[in-house]
Structure formats: C-alpha cells, structure tokens
Structure 1
Amino acid sequence: MRASISTALLVFVGACVDNQYPPLDPAVDPLTEGEWYRPTTTTTWQWQLQVREGQAGLNTSYAVDVYDLDLFDVSAEQIAALQDQDRRVICYFSAGSWEEWREDADAFDRADLGAKLDGWAGERWLNIRSPKVMEIMLARLDLAVQRGCDGVEPDNVDAYTNHSGFELLAEDQLAYNRALANAAHTRGLAIGLKNAGDQAVELVDYYDFSLNEQCHEYDECAQLQPFTQAGKPIWNAEYVSPDNLATAQAAAFELCPRAEAADIRTLVLPLELDDAFRVSCD
C-alpha cells in the first residue's frame, strides 16, 4: 500500500518510542549467486490482493508472466495451478506493518507496534529494529516457500520516511531491507522492493524487481531507473478517482506513452486491488 509520506526523514514529530534494540548492520553484501526466479524488464504482471464481493475467486485468465497475490490468502494449490500454466507467483505480505486480521498477529510483541497507518484501519507500523519482528518476517518467508511462491513482495519497507512512532533512521531501514532481501534469496525466493524509491540506488543489487505505486502521479519514476539499468523490471500500479474502468482508460491514454518511454510495466488498477477493472500499458 502507499502510505502518507513525511518530509522529515530522520526525526519524527508526535509520540515516539525509544529504540531498545541494537541496530542491524546495513553493511552486508548482497546475495547474488543462487537459483531463484529473476524477472526481466519485459516481464508482464497482474496484481490482485482481494476478491471482490460476488466474484467466484481469483481471476487467473490474464495472459501475463507473473501474478502477485496475497501470501496468506492464496493456497498452495492455486499457486501450483498457475505455475502449471507457466506463470510465476509473487506473494505479498507486509514487512513493515502489523495487521490485526493476520493469522500471526498475536505473535508480535505489543511494544513493537507503533503509530497507526494513515488511511489503513487495523494497521500499525512495526519497530523494524526488533529481533522479534525479524523473526516473524523470516517465518513469513518460510511460509512463502511452503506455499510454493516464486518470490515475495514485502510491503511498507519505508517506515523511516513516515510517522511510525519509532525513531528510525535511513540506516535502520537500509539494514532491515537488505536483511529481508538476503533472507529471501537464501530461501530461493525472488524479492521486490516495494515503493521506497529513496533507497533504490542502495538496494538495487539486493532486489530482483521494483514494485511501485503511483510513480507517474507523484513523479517518482526516475528514482527507480537503477532497476531498469540493471535489467530488472519496474512494475507500477496507478490508481484513479473516480475508481472505475472509464476513468482508468482515460488515465492510461495519457500515462502509457510515458510508461513505455521509461520501460515501466504500468497497470491502472482499483485501489482495493480486487480486479474490478484492469488497464494495462502493455
């Protein structure tokens, strides 16, 4: 999801919680050798995290290379069925926020839950310096392996630029994001950098693709170009208001030439990511 961005990058206003944990080390080398899925700049994709009311199930009819689906909601059988059609499956989970409805929500320490995410009910920022938080994220990566996912899309990995309730530095985020990437690769999983364009240069060697929300709208696409330059795809989703197919088609008419020129795989999608409509620039 796209969180509201603060202009203060290092120190946050509001109630902050002192960090009681030693920081992770950001100076770790990327794991680049191994057997895991590596998409290219021409890889096409579909993103559906919810099934809308009245829909029979996931819509798997799109002729794309990759489906990005919710780790906790997609079954091993659904993943295997897509892979049998020569599709790859990326599995979404939030690596930076606590979600009250998740099956492992009770595993978190209450002290590691920070401020509420603006606009997202039931979610709180996590203290990414906490060993317990990392332990739970490693368990989620293990679940992705068990389900048969080809890769993962960890969300909310930009807490240091938000009002998280914790005094997080850019170095804290960099260390956390690098640790996640190396842990995914150790397990044979591809991993994507979600938003977090401020750290694209520092993280491109660790991540296999970029997944961005609204880089055209917010004029952030140029931040992500290190991925394209490294032969790694930028998958982008744009949202529209009002949230309907006609508005999406009109928006695509204007932004798709820019996406094509920047070699970005852009979709115009509903904010709920429920397949209510889909307009692709490919």
Structure 2
Amino acid sequence: MTHAVPILRRCLLLAVVAALALASALFSEAAAQAATTKTLPPVAGSFDYQIGGDYPPAAGVQIVSRDHGGNPASGLYNICYINAFQTQPGKSGDWAESLILHKPNSTERVEDEGWPGEYLLDIRTATNRSAILAKVKVWIDECASKGFDAVEPDNYDSYTRSTGLISDEHAVEFMKLLVQYTHSKNLAIAQKNTLELASRADSIGIDFAVIEECGVIWPDADGPECPAVFEAFGNRVIDIEYTDAGMTRACTAYAKVFSIVQRDEAVTPNGPRKTCPGSNPADTQAPSAPTGLTATGSTGSSVSLSWSASTDNVGVAGYDVFRNGGKVGTTTGRTYTDTGLAAATTYQYQVKAKDAAGNVSGGSNTVSKATLSGGTSKACSATFVVTDSWSGAFDAEVRVKNTGTTAIGSWKVTWNWPAGQRVTESWDTVLTQNGGAVTAANDSQNGSIAAGSTKALGLMASGNVPSPLPTVTCTAS
C-alpha cells in the first residue's frame, strides 16, 4: 500500500534542497559580479600587439597589449602581458628552484623547446600554486597601479609541453587563482591561446581571449582554428597573425567581428603591422556628452569629481577635464581628482568625452566646488553604485575615495534608505542599520587608503533599488 504523506514530505524536502542550492548559486554569482568593476575591450577594436616594447600606436588604434614592465597608452584600452606559467628567458634565477618543473628524479629543468631559456613553472601542488601566485600578484598589482585595464597571462597551455608531468586540471586550478586575484584588482583577464580549455573559460571567469594565428592551417589540421575560437568566445577575441596566409583567412571570415592584427614574429617595436582591408573606416562621429557631473568632495588643495558614462559608435577612449575653461587632465575612468589647488577657492568644472579617432563630445553640465580652508587634511568621498538587481533585492558597492592629501587609517560612511530597504549581507565592512539609517565602517583589512586611492565595501539588500540612489556621507581619520 502506498503512503501519500511520506512521499509528499520527501518531494517537499527535495524541492527545498533544490531551492536552497539555486539561491546559493545566485548569491555566489551576484557576489562575484559585485566584487569587480572590470571593463572589457571594445568589440572588434583596432589592435596593436606591443609586448616587444612600447611605441606610439598608429592612428585609430583602440586596444594595445604591452608588457607589465611598460606603460599603458594614454586614452586607449590597455592589456598588461605577464608570463604567468613559465619563466622569462634569462630570468629563471628570479624563481626558487622548487617552483620550476624538473624531469622525474633529475635536476634537469623542463624547458619550452620553442622558446629557449623559458622553463615551465611547477603548478602541480596547491603549495606551489600559492607560492607562484605570490610572485605573479606583484606583476598584477603593477598592472593595476599603472592604469592597465586587463591582464594577459601567457602560457596557460604550458601543460601541453610538460611531457605529461602537468595536467590540464593543474593549469585550470592555477588559472582560477589568477582570475580571482585579477578581478579583485578591477581588471579583466584574457585566456591566451589554449583552445583545448576554451569550453571552461566561462565557468572559470575568463573575460575574453587573446589568440595567436587562428587563421593558420597547421600540418595536423583540416582547417584554421578561428571558427572554433569564435564558437567559444564569440566576438570577445583578439587575434594576432604572423603570416600573410593566416591574416587573409582570419580577415575573410572575421573582419569587423573581432580584433585582428598582423605583426612580425619578434613583435619588434615600430615593426611591421597590418590590419584587415577596410576594417578601420574613418570615424567621424563624436561621443555623446557626459552627464551627471558631480563634485563628490574637496580638501584644502583638491576637488574630486564623478560623472556618468558617454556612448560612442566605436568606443569612448577617455575624458578631458576642464577647470575654469582650461583643460587640466585626462582619464579613461569616470572619476577625477584635481589637485594642487588654492585653499578656500571656488572652481568650475566641465568634462568632455573623446574617442580614439580624436572626435570630442560637447561639454557636460558645469559644477562649482570650493576647496576647504587650510592645507593638508584627511578627507574622503563615497559613491553608491548598484551592481546587480533582481526581484525584491539588489547588490551594491559603496566606493570610498581618499580625497585628502595624506593617507587615512580608517573611514566611515552613512546613508538613509528611502523606502524600507534592508541590508541582508555585507563584506569588507562593519555595518549596522537602525531603521532606515545605515552606518558602515572599514573592517580590519581595508581601513588604510592612500591619497587619491579608492576602496569599496559590498552589500546585498532586500527591497527595490532606491531611486534616486542614496546620498552617502563619508568621514575619515
């Protein structure tokens, strides 16, 4: 005899478990989105591969890849190249011998036969991966501090040259660490080549691909790899060709779909560079004017500004900031701190957007802001940003910027919810809520902020996204 009640209970239990699992997955995804403000390269943007050395990009170039030892190109989307899975030629002495892969029961290192002097790093254990990451983090920090937009970690496919000593799973586990740390620095991250693992890119969190010679038909292949690359990454691809035949195949099928450039194999500074015929038509359309220009704070010698993004038919390359009618600075972001000002003085500001072709937008609204009386001080400003939303809840960040002239050791922000919203989760902060009033202070890890730098706290709240967004007040000490 069948008993309906126990069966019903089991069905309900299974439903609850499934619902909890779905909620956990959604929360993890939302938290991951809230944790980074990365930007991706412009689709099919004109590209130059400059890892052999920096030089002025040609007119119309929108994206540049340079070595982490170089500097980003002003006003362009910049990718920072690092050799994350192998040593650089002549630099193996920078690594502990225990972190370099050796042949079994031997002191002989495993070398990349295609690149003499490059030795594979031993990523087979969690301990080694952590130690290698500690060194690579220094380079990623360097990329972030210089103002690059993304990181290109090379030799993800080193496991294919390890004579079976390193597995694809070892490579994936190390790439996960690279993705997590790169995103924590608000940088996007590329997959370099390694089409064998392209199907796992989305689940790992890789943002786009940098591929070499997808237009070449290799001796053991029936056709070029570009179709497989496009199937895996769509138009989130940057392709570098080194031969005329490969360039012709790639351009014939994918010109204006993703970025394609032909360089010499040595990637010589100011060396040969070709683009697809007709892929760079003259761009005569200016971006839209920036909106929402706001003075977010001031000190005795500086004024901090923020504004909303402009749009462009190809892509916005940057913003020029004007004080009292004269240009005082350029930035690729949407915030700017004007420094070196006189105390107790009122200044007027306006912002204009520009694209890679040199087209300049109309001016934004004009704002006035007075500097404080006195000289150096500790001060901060804060901006409330919604990073994701769904029915009855949303994720947000409060981004705290040190607008003073000296480092601050701690900060506190306050705001009021307008319509019954309530914080349900928070991270990187000590947060309390009393009715609609919210107070959030730094935790033990992120209180110190250098002058001009920014740190963020994250939260999840119940209720609808407030409109307008709450005004956040910041104090520093």
Asked which structure has the greater RCO (Cα within 8 Å, sep 6+), the reply is: 1
Aligned equivalent of 1:127: 122
2:135 counterpart residue number: 136
- 2:193 is matched with which residue? 195
User: Structure 1: which 5+ residue stretches go unaligned?
Assistant: 1-28, 52-56, 241-247
Letter aligned with residue 124 of structure 1: Y
**Quick check: 1:97–1:156 contact (8 Å CA) kept in 2?**
yes
Listed one character per residue, the Cα deviations across residues 33-52 of structure 1 (whole Å, up to 9, x for unaligned) are 4211212433332111224x
Contact 1:144 1:152 in 2 (8 A): yes
**CA distance in structure 1 between the aligned counterparts of 2:67 and 2:262, rounded to whole angstroms:** 19
CA 1:225–1:204 in 2, change beyond 3 Å: closer, same or farther?
A: farther
Residue 41 in structure 1 maps to residue 38 in structure 2:
no
CA positional deviation for 1:165: 5.9
2:237 partner amino acid = I
Return closer, same or farther for 1:63/1:227 CA change in 2, 3 Å cut-off: farther
Within the alignment, does 1:175 sit opposite 2:173 as a pair?
yes
TM-score by length of 1: 0.72
Corresponding residue number in structure 2 for 1:221: 226
Query: How far apart are 1:188 and its partner, in Å?
Result: 0.8
What is the Cα deviation at residue 62 of structure 1? 3.5
- Residue 11 of structure 1 aligns with which residue? none
Contact 2:215 2:247 in 1 (8 A): no
Q: Distance in 2 between matches of 1:145 and 1:255?
A: 32
Q: Secondary structure at the match of 1:167?
A: coil
The separation in 1 between residues aligned to 2:144 and 2:240, in whole angstroms, is: 26
Going from structure 1 to structure 2, the CA distance change for 1:180 and 1:234 (only over 3 Å counts) comes to: same
Give the aligned residue type for 2:160. Answer: T
> Matched residue of 1:97: which SS?
coil
Higher strand share: 2
**1:98-130 CA-partner distances (Å, limit 9, x unpaired):** 11445xx54421122231111212211111231
Q: Secondary structure at the match of 2:178?
A: helix
Task: Give the alignment of 1:23-102 within 5 angstroms.
Answer: 31-33=32-34, 34-51=36-53, 58-72=55-69, 74-75=70-71, 79=72, 82-83=73-74, 86-102=75-91
| AA in 2 matched with 1:224 | V
Q: 2 CA distance for matches of 1:226 and 1:179?
A: 25
* RMSD (CA atoms): 2.3
Structure 2 CA distance, aligned partners of 1:265 and 1:61? 15
Q: TM-score, normalised by structure 2?
A: 0.44
Relative to 1, partners in 2 of residues 1:32 and 1:106: Cα closer, same or farther, differing over 3 Å?
Answer: farther
The aligned residue for residue 256 of structure 1 is 251
1:269 matched to which residue of 2? 263
* Contact residue 47 and residue 260 of structure 2 kept, 8 A: no
Distance (Å, rounded) in 1 between the aligned partners of 2:195 and 2:94:
30
Please list every run of 5 or more consecutive structure 2 residues that lacks an aligned counterpart in the other structure: 1-27, 102-109, 218-223, 280-477
C-alpha distance in 2 between matches for 1:42 and 1:153: 17
The residue number in structure 1 matching 2:112 is: 117
How far 1:227 sits from its partner (Å)? 4.9
Partner of 1:8: none
Q: Could you list the per-position Cα deviations for residues 219-258 of structure 1 after superposition, in whole angstroms to 9, with x for gaps in the alignment? A: 22233225544xx521111112xxxxxxx4x764454112
C-alpha distance in 1, partners of 2:99/2:157?
16
User: CA distance change for structure 1 residues 222 and 179 in 2, over 3 Å: closer, same or farther?
Assistant: farther
SS of equivalent residue, structure 1 residue 68 = strand
Judge conservation of contact 2:214–2:250 (CA < 8 Å) in 1.
no
Q: 1:270 corresponds to which letter in structure 2?
A: D
- Structure 2 match to 1:158: 157
Matched AA of 2:211: N
Aligned residue identity for 2:242: Y
Distance 1:43 1:32 in 2: 25
Determine the C-alpha separation between the residues in 2 that align with 1:173 and 1:251.
28
The separation in 2 between residues aligned to 1:59 and 1:166, in whole angstroms, is 42
SS in 2 for 1:116: coil
SS in 1 for 2:261: strand
Letter in 2 for 1:97: Q
> SS in structure 1 opposite 2:255?
helix
Structure number with higher helix proportion = 1
Q: Structure 1 CA distance, aligned partners of 2:232 and 2:38?
A: 17
Residue type at the aligned position of 1:239 = Y
Identity of aligned residues (%): 21
2:182 matched residue in structure 1: 184
Letter in 2 for 1:49: I
SS in 2 for 1:136: helix
Q: Which runs of 4+ in 1 moved over 3 A?
A: 29-33, 226-229, 250-255
Q: 1:187/1:255 Cα in 2 relative to 1: closer, same or farther (>3 Å)?
A: closer
Post-superposition Cα deviations, 1:43-77, rounded to whole Å, max 9, x if no partner, equal: 332111224xxxxx6132341211101112x13xx
- Whether the 8 Å CA contact 2:45–2:258 is kept in 1: the answer is no
CA contact (8 A) 1:239 1:271 kept: yes
Q: Is the 8 A contact 1:213 1:237 kept in 2?
A: yes
